Chain A
Amino acid sequence: MLVTRTLITAESVPRLAPHVTLKHDTVRDRWVVLGPERMLVPDEIAVEILQRCDGERSVAAVVGLLAKEFNAPEDDIAGDVRELLQALADKGFVRA
């Protein structure tokens, strides 16, 4: 049991929840998130974010990395990243 709700902040270190995996669907050439009887087809941005959540990087570090790689201001993406991860955390796909 999770005793409290996972709240995503800049300092949280997010990762996929246990028994949740990001997998490439070779038949359809797309990425899917698989969990207990659930499947999600994340959009390209969500895939980029999730691929960088390795359980070691903080949210701030993920934002920094994406900003550098995609040449975008950190402020523009920080909100999106936090929102996405919070939504996935509330659905049980992400822990921090």
Chain B
Amino acid sequence: MTNLHPKPRANTAPPIDLPVAMLAELTHRCPMRCAYCSNPVALERPECELSTAEWRGVLSQAAAMGVMQVHFSGGEPTARRDIVDLVRYAVEEGLYTNLITSGVLLDAAMVSDLARAGLEHVQLAFQDSEDEGANIVGGYHGALGKKRAAAGLVKDAGLALTANLVIHRHNAPRVGAMIDMALEMGCERAEVANVQYYGWGLMNRAALMPSRAQLAEMTATVRERQARYTGRMVIDYVIPDYHARRPKACMGGWARRFLNVTPTGKVLPCHAAETIPGLVFDTVRDRPLRDIWDTGQAFEAYRGDAWMPKDCRSCERKEFDWGGCRCQALAIAGDAAAMDPACDLSPHHAAMAAMAEDEADADARAFVYRAFGAHKDSTF
């Protein structure tokens, strides 16, 4: 018998992993003006946002390609009037739903509508355990009181609650008090999140950077609380990159587990990817999500190990950290395809730590607050 149908050629390229999580940035509108906000400095205008129908399409496509969790974020996601509708739709699509919010717009009716729609979890950000500190970094008066009230509403509605404790030079001495506050509010989980320097955070880096001594103290305090609260509240803590020896597996590896959809529908491999020159971001208005994931230029750019510098490509950790963060490599080493300078094998590692120390010592006290359009400086 002749073989009329030769076997297809073995495909040597490894199969592409599909994403497990999607960050849906519903809007860049936000009543707060946090100096550390990681949104891009050029915020996307409200009139260009995806419609409800477009977001529904994105959620369906995400579920069909294996996304398990959706994080509704922003900006402030509850500034969208269709937030409850979108949560309900995501739940119907079988997605596990998280809401990442500042909490300042939440009221009892909205929280109970969200709970009825099937929302599982709320992540509420806290700037400080004291009013003054919270007001200054958030550029919003009275945020802490509103956030505490929101936390109560979330607990009353029976939802899971995580406190996202955003740490920088000015509140670092209160990290213990902030963790205690999270426990008192009934959080099952707290994330001690050192500011990441993207977007507005990068612009304000010199005014936010903690010192090495502060970090050492912070780490000891967090470890003590982790031991004390074992089984009562989970405390996640990541040593900030500027003082680490090895980089984090940013996004679990570029284009491996995670995708981000911006308010206007651009699909990004990570929420800071737009800072990298030369990448092309397709939008869900032009192409199906799956296509963008599989073959979009921005996704292919740093997927796998072909793009890596040779020291990473031959490193045994390359499938743990995937060479670290591309945006940080760009910001510090000047090349998005360089080794993340958080790695102590990087030629820029020492310079990065020294820069962090210098900035912390200089103790700058001026923030540029997050805003649409022209930026305003203010000192405190």
What is the distance, in angstroms, from B58's C-beta to the closest C-beta of chain A?
17
Given contacts A19-B160, A36-B123, is CB(A2)–CB(B232) below 8 Å? yes
B: interface residue count bin: 20 to 34
- A27 is contacted by which of B65, B183, B231 (Cβ under 8 Å)? B65
What is the distance, in angstroms, from A33's C-beta to the closest C-beta of chain B?
10
A90 to B235 CA separation, bound complex (whole angstroms): 11
Q: Decide if B160 touches A6 in the complex (CB within 8 Å).
A: no
A: interface residue count bin: 20 to 34
A92 to B183 CA separation, bound complex (whole angstroms): 14
A30 to B64 CA separation, bound complex (whole angstroms): 15
A7 to B189 CA separation, bound complex (whole angstroms): 18
What is the distance, in angstroms, from B357's C-beta to the closest C-beta of chain A?
32
Q: Which of A41-96 contact B (CB under 8 A)?
A: 89-92
Query: When each residue 18-34 of chain A gets 1 if its CB lies under 8 Å from chain B and 0 otherwise, what string results?
Result: 11010101011000101
Given contacts A18-B160, A32-B68, A34-B68, is CB(A92)–CB(B96) below 8 Å? no
Q: Decide if A18 touches B68 in the complex (CB within 8 Å).
A: no
A4 to B92 CA separation, bound complex (whole angstroms): 35
In the A-B complex, the 7 residue pairs with the closest CB atoms: A5-B231, A27-B66, A36-B121, A19-B160, A34-B96, A19-B120, A92-B234
27 sampled A-B residue pairs with Cβ under 8 A: A1-B183, A2-B231, A2-B233, A4-B232, A6-B231, A17-B188, A18-B158, A19-B159, A19-B160, A27-B66, A28-B18, A28-B66, A32-B68, A35-B160, A36-B123, A36-B162, A36-B188, A37-B69, A37-B121, A37-B123, A39-B20, A39-B21, A89-B231, A91-B234, A92-B188, A92-B189, A92-B234
Residues of A within 8 A of B (CB): 1-7, 17-19, 21, 23, 25, 27-28, 32, 34-37, 39, 89-92
